[in-house]
Structure 1
């Protein structure tokens, strides 16, 4: 029997000095970022600056605490040279070659107790993650498989590693080489887990595919899976013994498929050695897309993509090893494979794994399994929540306790706001927390997750004016009493270290509350599709992946509105199939979840014909006529336009993917071939009217797009002459007061000519006598222009010293009396801070951007401490200043301005109430709260 490799001990022992030092660092950093304190990990090799955000002023406080609590005086040069806690620890232990560590009476600090399993933060591949846990926590229960009789089969990390090695031995014996694909057509269970990691340990690439659900679908299933296997180049297919004969039907259509075997047949003693460990950039597995908009494509998910996504999701959701995930999701689906299983593998929480069939046969089993194992996490598509609402009686809920369920993810298909509301109300008596329901957004091209809501926040539903949205793509908030509205559910905010943007058809980024194509980027973004370079180039450009989804953003939240290919443009209006399907699906006599709405292109009218296909078991003509009338009425009420054709189809006519999504493109093809029903031809008068309406809609969109380009060109032509003339006038002006007056008048004139309304609230607070510190949020390059237009002449900007050396910007800022501070030379940075303190004491008011920089992503970034330490030390008041609207006009990374208005709010002055570090921390928190109260953007907890 093989054993996991022995743990390699670090050369530096983790003794009491190290524990005490790390605790001091952790407490100091936690004061800066209290929102991350519960998941903050400080290690000896953590970078003080890049990993922990320790700038020069924080370093001063940290040094003071280390010296006080260790009872030492550290060498002066260590202040600037130490990059990690390990550098400080080395000096504490052995002294510094350039100086002596002086010790006095030692202070005692008790080390913090760890109440959870550690995670493999340095792992670069999935293989390293499993090996790390097999060394550190070999007996820890990783997966609990729930059988038909509800008995559990527990799988520890060691058992998973040992069994996977045996599968790897069989694959290597069969001649599998590194990088070759191996398909997994297995149901949820032990064999899938062992087979997946066995392929990885053998150096192969797993390709999960789904087994056939019904024999009546065997022909279509084999056709689709043959295409997947050919594209993946699979050499081996691992399946259950009972399916081997069926699987052999695939071999004539898949030339490269050499072997079909079960996990039991593959299990061999692997011997002491396995192939070299895969690299982070290597493909971890191929995730084939569901095919809801066409043929499935193999997304290349690398080890680096996967671990980046797991770490980002874990940070956003604050998961740890004390969580319990209950899942019935199939393992061939990314939400079940990555979100449930591989997430539990990485973070060390228990995964209770049910069969998907167990849930479909008895939906209550899902909720009672959450009750039995005190599950804290679970995920499902919207239909599963609907199933629980419709199939569970009150007697099924007697004694049910869902109070431990802290996050109920709803994703993988459109989220119905009514479902969320009804589910929360129905299961509140069972202890379900109001904020537990969490609509999320993700897709295979992003590995899995893209946007998640804050834990415990609960669903956020946006009501918008229907006409404005369908005709202009503008998500205008609707009044509560407005009946003509659409509702969209927020999927949350982009994951940490990832970005989302909304662009138009030309790739130009749109402002908030404008619908367009959702694009994303970040370390989880995959490199594209396997053996499909043309498809990859179509969706991946300059690091941005086009999701092919339609969405808008509001307040930093992502609101999905539909699929690009599914969108129906009818008479100049945008019609979203899911809205039609959900509304029609409530009619009695139709099969719920088996309605497809799609557009069928009509060459004569140049517009989409709206077709509704609904599965119906009713046969008599009178009942069908009544159903058609009701469908027509509902669609007209919802969209203002009657459907061109209503097809009442027999059961199982509406095509779906393996995950239950409606395959609208396939349904459209079926319809256009005449294999479902005959299209209802509209009279020529209606076609003419629709053609004119469609033409008017297209021209309106083109006119708005042209208007946007014209405004951007006008703003650019306006800005550069203004900037050049202002710079020249400032350089030639002999007095600083005159320079500031010129700049203020130029900024006001530019904003007025650019059509940017500027409103200011609390301007009188800027004219108070005496020095003060301004802490301003930073969102755009336009912020500087706005402040120049608003601030009185006695305020001076604080800027990074790199700008002082620039000929154009540096000369301009110096003439305005800007103060420069060093960011990289620590000793000079402290000296600059002292100089700023002297300026404040002399009566000079200073303007800070405490975020230090800005990004295109909405949200308030973490604050640097400089402004708050200075205000506390000098005792001057601090005024938070909130600027709204500049990010929407001009985002970072683009030079395409949009029309918009700017609002500046000068908050009430704040006093530190002390001169120590704690007073500066309190002042920072109060200023941050004041800014968040005025901004329409949410706080960005992770920078």
Structure 2
């Protein structure tokens, strides 16, 4: 039996009264992890699948997803959380994309749950086998299927194009190693910690960090859906207040949204219980963090509770966590030296990069040049990672694809550097870096400058490479604004954004394109897709 399953079983039988609350704010229901496990055993008894079966899950409610994924693991199967259609999704296209994913992972079974059980006719039409989660109930499985450490536990779909899918293969060994590394780095305490989350379960931070980890180690969890959060962003603060939440996490845009709502709120929230508010999943914007800290201060939020982190699905979830209770710390460096010389030279004024902490226990991290040479402290190059949490490979439509070199190193595609105390700094994605006049211009610098202009929707500006890799390489800015369509207002906005970008990076964008809200292409997990935005220029 894998250590991951052993620990999960030990937690379920520990007798501790820890569990998961779902259904907020309308109809909250709490189940202990022992009760979740008993439901999982009954689901597993009804599944009757062979060990190694790739089981896909399409559901939104955490209350049914938690026992369903555990049931898959009890049967010796793997779990794939399918991307969920939205009200604007073309269901015919979604079905074709889903068929492509199911073929890629060799899955012949979808577990269908609310609210997506209404899609059963679409699955029938395309010949996709499924079982409804509400109907999975039988005699409990007698014992878990013995599962080796290198068996697949999770096939995590990446945030790329759904038409050209790719899944990260996470083994039981990977999952346990990363969960244990995060447990140590975050000092998780089942006796006192309460995790609060609205993150989607088809994303690695939601699925691993805020479902699997608390279920594995027996931490208290309050779980709502992204729809709940987006419908009422202050629900997040309300749940932390009422349940005395100690740990939460979100990407930049969520902290920016909540900061604005808290700043004008007359509610009596109490955020003093929060010890870890993790910011990850995309480049961390110090300005967004500062706005959240300032807005939360009058509700008792401690600045030192902010935890900057670096993560990716290829390491299961976590790569590095900043030291506990230090808040957001930044490394201020000379921007010209980073861009032209690929050296992070400390400076009193310049570019501020968040310090993301040292690698998690069990992981190694190094920086290499374009030629593969291992670089020293403050040299900027590509980040590589090695350790038990690192995936052995991807599944693609063209077959399996290995991720590690002969020595076990995985190339992340991220550019960054290490500072003197071993903490890592990420500058940007290698493929997104704009190269002009021998300088490396990081898109995040351009995007933050654009978003600092009044009228630009927070977190909804994209720097797009044009003529990449040629002597004519340049960039454009595509942004969302409610001013779109007002010719005079658009013209003034373009002028302001151009000036702010030039101040930030010293280069003029080829063009600034203003689009109405909801236009920019995003991944299923909500990240902006820079390459796809090029069609809007």
TM-score higher than 0.5 here? Answer: yes
Judging changes above 3 Å, is the alpha-carbon distance between structure 1 residues 385 and 616 closer, same or farther for their aligned structure 2 residues?
A: closer
**Partner residue, 1:198:** 71
**2:281 alignment partner, SS class:** coil
User: Is 2:486 aligned against 1:629?
Assistant: no
Aligned in 2, Cα 1:264/1:317: closer, same or farther, shift over 3 Å?
A: same
Per-residue CA deviation, residues 557-600 of structure 1 (Å, 9 max, x unaligned), is: 11111111111112221111122112212323333322211212
What SS does structure 1 have at the residue aligned with 2:375?
coil
Would you say the 8 A contact 1:594–1:614 is kept in 2?
yes
Cα gap change, 1:268 to 1:464, in 2 (>3 Å): same
Post-superposition offset of 1:281: 1.4
2:303 counterpart of 1:437: no
- Aligned ranges 1:332-731 → 2 under 5 Å: 332-398=202-268, 400-479=269-348, 482=349, 485-531=350-396, 536-537=401-402, 540-555=405-420, 556-601=422-467, 606-617=471-482, 618-668=484-534, 671=535, 676-677=536-537
* CA deviation after TM superposition for structure 1 residue 218, in Å: 4.1
Residue 346 (structure 1) shift: 2.6
Conservation of the 8 A alpha-carbon contact between 1:330 and 1:356? yes
Deviation, 1:517, is 0.7
Q: Report the CA distance shift for 1:307/1:623 in structure 2 as closer, same or farther (over 3 A).
A: same
Partner SS, residue 478 of structure 2: strand
Comparing both chains, which one has the higher relative contact order based on Cα–Cα distances under 8 Å and sequence gaps of 6 or more? 2
Distance 1:292 1:550 in 2: 22
1:141: Cα distance to partner? 2.8
Give TM-score scaled by structure 1 length.
0.54
User: Aligned partners of 2:220, 2:313: CA distance in 1, in Å?
Assistant: 24
1:249 aligned to 118, 122, 130, which one?
122
Gap change, CA 1:412 and 1:241, over 3 Å in 2: closer
* Correspondent of 2:38 among 162, 168, 174: 162
Q: 1 CA distance for matches of 2:320 and 2:393?
A: 20
Task: Provide the C-alpha distance between the structure 2 equivalents of 1:296 and 1:416, rounded to a whole number of angstroms.
Answer: 29
| CA offset digits 1:800-839 (Å, max 9, x no partner) | xxxxxxxxxxxxxxxxxxxxxxxxxxxxxxxxxxxxxxxx
Give, in whole Å, the separation in 2 of the partners of 1:215 and 1:365: 25
| 1:141 corresponding residue in structure 2 | 18
- CA distance 1:531–1:427, shift in 2 (3 Å): closer
CA-to-partner distance for each residue in 1:203-254, whole Å, 9 max, x for gaps? 221111232122345455445433322211221111226534535535666x
RMSD between superposed Cα atoms in Å: 2.3
Q: 1:614 to 1:251 in 2, by over 3 A?
A: farther
Hey, what's the Cα distance between the residues in 2 that align with 1:247 and 1:591? 37
Paired with 1:355 and 1:627, the residues of 2 have a C-alpha distance of 35
Report if aligned partners of 2:33, 2:218 keep a CA contact under 8 Å in 1: no
Q: 1:344-402 deviations in whole A, cap 9, x for unaligned?
A: 1232221111222221111111112111111111111111110111123444343x222
In structure 2, stretches of 5+ residues that fail to align are none
Distance 1:224 1:549, change over 3 A: farther
| Most deviating of 329-338 and 438-447 | 329-338
Distance 1:157 1:602 in 2: 51
Which residue matches 1:285? 154
Residues matched between the structures, number:
534
Deviations 1:618-655, CA, capped at 9 Å, x for gaps: 21332222222222212211111111122223433211
Look up the SS of the partner of 1:587 in the other structure. Answer: coil
- Corresponding position of 1:317: 186
**Is 2:87 the partner of 1:214?**
yes
Describe the superposition over 1:531-581 as per-residue Cα deviations: whole angstroms up to 9, x where unpaired: 578873466452011111111111211111111111111222111112211
Larger Cα-atom Rg:
1
Partners in 1 of 2:70 and 2:456 — Cα distance? 44
Higher fraction of helix: 1
Q: Distance in 2 between matches of 1:349 and 1:652?
A: 37
Give a deviation string over 1:266-309, Cα, whole Å, max 9, x none: 222246x3563211211111111112799442111111111111
Task: Indicate if the aligned counterparts of 1:146 and 1:352 stay in contact, CA closer than 8 A.
Answer: no
Q: 1:242 to 1:447 in 2, by over 3 A?
A: closer
Q: Unpaired runs of 5+ in structure 1?
A: 1-122, 678-943
Q: Could you tell me whether the CA contact under 8 Å between 2:153 and 2:170 is conserved in 1?
A: yes
Superposed displacement of residue 442, structure 1: 0.7
Per-residue Cα deviation, 1:88-114 (whole angstroms, up to 9, x for no partner) = xxxxxxxxxxxxxxxxxxxxxxxxxxx
Which deviates more, 425-434 or 500-509? 425-434
* Alignment partner, residue 127 of structure 1: 5
TM-score (norm 2): 0.93
Q: In structure 2, what is the equivalent of residue 171 of structure 1? A: 47
SS at match of 1:375: coil
Distance 1:477 1:332 in 2: 39
Map Cα deviations across residues 381-430 of structure 1 (whole Å, 9 max, x no partner).
111110111123444343x2222111110000111111222222222232
The structure carrying a bigger strand percent of its residues is 2
Residue 188 of structure 1 deviates from its aligned partner by: 3.2
SS at match of 2:212: helix
